[in-house]
Structure 1
Amino acid sequence: MQPTPLTPAAREGALQLSIYEGAFASIFMSIIANGLVTGLALFLGAGPFVLGVLGALPFITQLMQLVGAYLEEKTGNRRLLSVWSEALSRFVWIPIALLPLWQLSSTVSLTIFVVLQVIAAALFGIAVNTWSSWMTDLVPPERRGRYFGIRNTVASFASMVAGLGSGYALDYFKRTASEGTAYAVTLGFGLVFAVVGIVLLRLQAEPPMERRPRVPLREMFLSPLADERYRSLIVSGTIWAFVVGVAGPFFNAYGIESLKMSFADLAYMGIVTSVASMVVFPLVGRMQDRYGDRIVMLVSAVCVIPLPIGWILSTPDNLWPLFGTSLGAGLFWPGINQGLANMSMAQSPAQARGAYLATYGAVTGVGVVLSGLAGGVIAQYLRGSEFMVVGYMVNHYSVLFIGSILLRAAAVIFVLRKI
């Protein structure tokens, strides 16, 4: 029996609901991204190498997209898979929130922390793949740029408010109670919003999934690599993930340790990024619909090349260079992130979309894990080293920031422009 397509009213209702769901999901993501995970890891005794390992965890998320694609092909029910995998990934954060309150040794605490992070990342990876396939079929191609521009704007506003609130909450409870209590309470608040987002996701309608004849598992995941055009996108995305990921896990650690920033300071920088993103998301969406994802992505990639320099030029008494970096991140990263996402959606055939998106995520995840581990090893090896470069003090983290700038430039010149 042929599944019944969504009515126009049902489709519009689902699109509206997804905007609200994205806002609540973004609140939780903003809280854990606002230096909280880095701060908690440092509180538990993590060094640069452990931070690098944590920075490589998105690889687990991306690798598990292959599992999501397989389950999607097996069941044909993307909503069920998305809801349950995301719900379970969030519930794993409950023991993470309680961990700083337990009287455990640093080694035991860090081990539990990393293991739970791996589990959460793995479960979330299934949700990412099935949700991406679901949304690709839900959003009409001619509206994709504008729709995600609006959705991302709302999500950015929610992230901005959550980032500021969580930053103040962390600093407040650190002063009035204890640092462990600060992490536990802030994560607890975040989980409440995560649950609301999951409920909204459950209520969102799913269009019928276009099924293809059953194919061997090996063929399912190798076919995207045999597609020359899609393979080029995968290779480019993997290289870009590496050059960005070399420094990515260490920005917040540098802010906390070297620049002596409070969580509120980190939140303010996040707000600058969020406000800029809110302004440009609709514009980026319209430009993508008019000029194409590739052009917008390339221009944006050129503009993010020098952004890490703001961290190096900042000092505990002068964070204005970092303000410029935060502003630039909000203005230009949307064009890259949404551009690559749109291209991966557009170039994946409807009957094999889950497998294509999963393969893209898994292979680009290799770039993430290699960059995180490489950055962790380099930072650990150089830990404690400080030297002057053109009048500025450079430490083990700064070396990674400089390396990322050079690698970004090389990637734009030799890789991204050939997509």
Structure 2
Amino acid sequence: MVLKFKRPRLYGDVSDENYELSRRRFILEGCLSNGIYTLTAGAFLAGYAKFLGASDQIIGLIAAIPLLANILQMFSPIFLEKLTSRKSLIVNTCFLYRSLLGLMIVIPLLTQNTSARVLLLGGMYFAAYLIFSFSNPAGGSWIISLVPERYRGRYFGLRDTFIISSAAVLSLSMGRILDVFKVSGREFLGFIFVFSIVLLLVMMNIYVLRKIKEPEIVPISQNVNIKSLFTLPLKNKQFRPVIFINAAWNFAGQIALPFFSVYMVTGLKLSYTFIMFANILLSVVQASTAKLWGKLADKFSWEVTTVISIGMLGLCHLTWAFVTKEICYVIIPFIQIVAGAGWSGVNISLFNIQFKHAPQEGRTIFVGFNAAVAGLAGFTSAFLGAFLVGALENVKINIGITVLNNMLILFGLSGTLVILCAVIFAYKFKSNSGKKDSGEYDNNLAG
């Protein structure tokens, strides 16, 4: 499918034709990069960590490591905002961090000590996402600069559709392969195959990324120092609510989010095939609703889609509190359907809402600070979740229709907090819900 826009906004000496081609290439790049992420996160990461000997608490913390690494995004603009070209930096950092994720497969070859293996896994995962976080604000700004604002809902909806669809096929096939190897007692060979695919995707991804054109960049006129990294975003009345939204949502959601995959792998002991099937169900709904969220945002606002989608995910988190071995095969598909629509809306909405309210000059400062605060809130929450999983290990609460254990209590707590976030956001956005994305955004959200 060829996606064309009328009256494109030009940047520098990048031609109309090259701009259109670069937008299409960013769709392919997104499919490849998300494939790498899919095979090194979620159930795949939980299964590999369990294979290396990690406990449920440690697996949850490792899964939340990218949130902690996001703190680096707040400081990277000191360097990024001085550059007139960021493409080489982005390409090189993407190669380093994605290759490092694929190379996690060598850990069992380096040591037989369980503690050392788990430490190496956490260390490599953390190092990879530190590298990613350093250049991520520039990467987000790059793709945003290629797409005119009035068409971003349509473009990112289409891009998400392709990304999610490709991830669904990849995850199911790799999940099935892992199950085959696990049943035959050769689980490590299965992970070798999966991580080999990761490294292949890295090579393809970097090739495509190098072919994408970069618009001309005008360095920020202000002096960028440590102090300005804090003061510029916090003083901006339009951007402060964006920081609050991301921090609150991440704190509410990340208490439980890293433990869903852990619960399916170690608690319910589900097969990788079923887990990937459930993920595909989520992905199909996510892909089929991505364009709808984009259209809704174009018609109303990113604020409206944020409230609706976060509310849907709150219901999903709350429903997870009732997932037991007896009903998991029935209730998990239902959760995935609703979650698919919710995640589709949350991802596209929170990505765009930050660029909507951040000034173009010094944009990476605002995006980096937002990611850092959200990441710190999310990792703190995940750490709290890990603590609660251990502290409530022997706790059982009979509520009549089911008995809640430590993880189910955690899921219920997270669901309640996420729904509360949606209610608060709706109240904050109420006076602005009828306004369009043309800049008619007032400062009432600043509280």
Bin for the TM-score computed over the shorter chain: over 0.9
Q: CA deviation at 1:365?
A: 1.0
Q: Partner of 2:362: helix, strand, or coil?
A: helix
Q: Pairwise mapping of residues 30-49 of structure 1 onto structure 2 (< 5 A)?
A: 30-49=38-57
Q: Which of 284, 301, 322 is the matching residue for 2:310?
A: 301
C-alpha contact (below 8 Å) 1:49/1:380 kept by paired residues: yes
Q: Which of 137, 140, 150 is the matching residue for 2:158?
A: 150
C-alpha contact (below 8 Å) 2:174/2:194 kept by paired residues: yes
2:106 is the counterpart of 1:71 = no
2:102 is the counterpart of 1:86 = no
Q: CA deviation at 1:410?
A: 1.7
Letter in 2 for 1:114: G
Q: TM-score, normalised by structure 1?
A: 0.95
Q: CA deviation at 1:246?
A: 0.2
C-alpha contact (below 8 Å) 1:52/1:377 kept by paired residues: no
Q: Which of 275, 279, 291 is the matching residue for 1:270?
A: 279
Q: Which of 370, 393, 396 is the matching residue for 1:360?
A: 370
Q: CA deviation at 1:55?
A: 3.5
- Structure 2 vs 1, CA of residues 180 and 417 (structure 1 numbering), >3 Å: closer, same or farther? farther
- Structure 2 vs 1, CA of residues 97 and 54 (structure 1 numbering), >3 Å: closer, same or farther? same
C-alpha contact (below 8 Å) 1:24/1:197 kept by paired residues: yes
Q: Which of 290, 302, 305 is the matching residue for 1:281?
A: 290
The Cα offsets for residues 366-407 of structure 1, whole Å up to 9 and x where unpaired, read as 111111100011101122433422231321111110100111
Q: Residue in 1 aligned with 2:117? A: 109
Q: TM-score, normalised by structure 2?
A: 0.89
Q: Partner of 1:308: helix, strand, or coil?
A: helix
Q: CA deviation at 1:103?
A: 4.4
C-alpha contact (below 8 Å) 2:312/2:339 kept by paired residues: no
Q: CA separation in 2, counterparts of 1:309 and 1:269?
A: 18
Q: How many residues align?
A: 417
Q: Partner of 1:351: helix, strand, or coil?
A: coil
Structure 2 gaps, min length 5: 1-10, 429-444
Q: CA deviation at 1:45?
A: 2.1
Letter in 1 for 2:63: G
Q: Pairwise mapping of residues 62-211 of structure 1 onto structure 2 (< 5 A)?
A: 62-211=70-219
C-alpha contact (below 8 Å) 2:56/2:266 kept by paired residues: no
Q: CA deviation at 1:172?
A: 1.4
C-alpha contact (below 8 Å) 1:34/1:266 kept by paired residues: no
Q: Residue in 2 aligned with 1:60? A: 68
Higher mean Cα deviation, 332-341 or 352-361? 332-341
C-alpha contact (below 8 Å) 2:393/2:406 kept by paired residues: yes
Higher mean Cα deviation, 271-280 or 256-265? 256-265
- Structure 2 vs 1, CA of residues 184 and 101 (structure 1 numbering), >3 Å: closer, same or farther? farther
Q: CA separation in 2, counterparts of 1:42 and 1:388?
A: 29
Q: Residue in 1 aligned with 2:434? A: none
The Cα offsets for residues 147-203 of structure 1, whole Å up to 9 and x where unpaired, read as 000000000011100110111111112123522222222111122112211211111
Task: Report the aligned-residue RMSD.
Answer: 1.7
Q: Pairwise mapping of residues 378-397 of structure 1 onto structure 2 (< 5 A)?
A: 378-397=388-407
Q: Residue in 1 aligned with 2:433? A: none
Q: CA deviation at 1:40?
A: 1.4
Q: Which of 239, 247, 250 is the matching residue for 1:241?
A: 250
Q: CA deviation at 1:101?
A: 4.2
Q: CA deviation at 1:95?
A: 3.4
Q: Residue in 2 aligned with 1:6? A: 14
- Structure 2 vs 1, CA of residues 310 and 101 (structure 1 numbering), >3 Å: closer, same or farther? farther
C-alpha contact (below 8 Å) 1:27/1:194 kept by paired residues: no
Q: Residue in 1 aligned with 2:237? A: 228
Q: CA deviation at 1:249?
A: 0.7
C-alpha contact (below 8 Å) 1:310/1:324 kept by paired residues: no
- Structure 2 vs 1, CA of residues 236 and 309 (structure 1 numbering), >3 Å: closer, same or farther? closer
C-alpha contact (below 8 Å) 1:31/1:163 kept by paired residues: yes
Q: CA deviation at 1:49?
A: 2.9
The Cα offsets for residues 52-76 of structure 1, whole Å up to 9 and x where unpaired, read as 3223312233212234322321223
Q: Which of 369, 384, 389 is the matching residue for 2:379?
A: 369
Q: CA separation in 2, counterparts of 1:147 and 1:369?
A: 31
C-alpha contact (below 8 Å) 2:302/2:352 kept by paired residues: yes
C-alpha contact (below 8 Å) 2:265/2:271 kept by paired residues: yes
The Cα offsets for residues 22-80 of structure 1, whole Å up to 9 and x where unpaired, read as 11112111222340111111222222331332233122332122343223212232211
Letter in 1 for 2:241: S
2:261 is the counterpart of 1:252 = yes
Letter in 1 for 2:188: G
Letter in 2 for 1:29: Y
Same amino acid, percent of matched pairs: 23
C-alpha contact (below 8 Å) 2:73/2:136 kept by paired residues: yes
C-alpha contact (below 8 Å) 1:240/1:411 kept by paired residues: yes
Letter in 1 for 2:338: G
Letter in 2 for 1:362: A
The Cα offsets for residues 87-132 of structure 1, whole Å up to 9 and x where unpaired, read as 1001212431121344421111111111111101101112321111
Structure 1 gaps, min length 5: none
From the two aligned structures, give the one with the greater helix fraction.
Answer: 1
- Structure 2 vs 1, CA of residues 163 and 94 (structure 1 numbering), >3 Å: closer, same or farther? closer
Q: Partner of 2:398: helix, strand, or coil?
A: strand
Q: CA separation in 2, counterparts of 1:232 and 1:58?
A: 23
